[in-house]
Amino acid sequence: MTTQTNFLLLETRDTLHKWLSLVTGVIMIFYCFLNVVILNQITIGIIDAIFGLINLYFFRAAQLEKAKKWHTYMLTFSITAAVIYAFYFADLRAGSIYWFLVLPPLYCLLAGPKLGLFYTILLSIPALAILFIKSDTENFIPYRSVLNFVLAYFLSYAICYLYETQYAKSSLLLEKMAFQDPLTGAQNRHALRLFFDHFNKAAVDPFQEKEQEETRLLIIDIDHFKSVNDEFGHDVGDSVLIEMTELLHYCINNDHVYRIGGEEFLIVLNDYTQTQAFDFAETIRKTVENSIFRTHQQNIKITVSIGIAQLNKGQSFREFLRVADKNLYTAKNEGRNLVHYGSMSVTEAV
């Protein structure tokens, strides 16, 4: 699954988390009132109130775009704990067991298919244990009921799993149409904007080892590319762009290669220092310079100019491109076939 699909799925789960927090918060507050005022179940009512208020807090945090990753874990835990507690202390005839059928789809949607399956299997153990314990104490041995519950419980997960996997496949297909350059297979400008949006919205994650502070991007422009088209034709020029994309993918070994203009490419470098980014750009420049692009029975030699800019959180897409373009055009104005990053530059003028 590629970067854009992951971003879209994360946004979908964030939206689900927000509204699920509101719905479950309201439901738990309602059950708090029901248990305390009508059923005189004070303990269960207090637990419902605590989890309900926590979930309403998660909803408010999501509204303010201050949601953390642990909020999703806590939301899942609070709903699970409330269902188990209510089932354990309530009479079987109250029907609390039906709430277990809600949990497998919830796990699948919030945690993903694989982790959701693990949670689903894990929860089935205390659910069945409590069911058999209560069956003995209440003189009720529902063998067929247990079988129906188990089948319905896992079927609810299976349906959600099939939906999620099909959704991921559809998202991947739509992604190729919306975010992939049809000529080169590189990601396009729309994909880059999505990357920027995700980068700027990402909060500091307490479960993450470190925040990615050193994110830099390279803007790469093929020197005198118009001359290639004029001399050899656009078919040859297109083939050069395709081979250039393959070369960049080979150098970076990930999917963060974007075609943002006719002969302009962009590469994202995560956790690169200024010196490391400059050295990597130099490697690309030399690799291109020493390569021969063989296409349509022609041997083409090209060079590239590269501008480097650091990506800062909160920086707009337009502002970043302005800084990176400035460094790129400095490289071109100083003779092309050059890497420029502020005061750092290496040139092999052509």
Could you list the active site residues?
Answer: 263
Say how far apart CA 230 and CA 202 lie, in whole Å: 45
Angle at 308 between CA 304 and CA 313, to 5 degrees: 145
The two three-digit tokens of residue 231, written as one number: 């001399």
Tokens standing for 275? 């010196």
Give dist(CA 228, CA 287) in Å, integer. 19
Structure tokens of 300? Answer: 């083409």
Hey, which bits of 150-303 come out as E strands?
215-222, 257-259, 264-270, 293-295, 298-300
> Checking DSSP bridges between strand 338-341 and strand 257-259, what pairing results, if any?
unpaired
Both tokens assigned to 102: 């809600």
Number of H-type helices and E-type strands within the chain: 11, 8
Map tokens 């995700």 to a residue: 198
- First and final C-alpha spacing in the chain: 41
Helical pair 143-179 and 3-33, crossing angle rounded to 10 deg: 140
β 298-300/304-311 pair status? unpaired
Q: What are phi and psi of 340, to 5 degrees?
A: -130, 130
> How many whole angstroms separate alpha carbon 5 and alpha carbon 173?
9
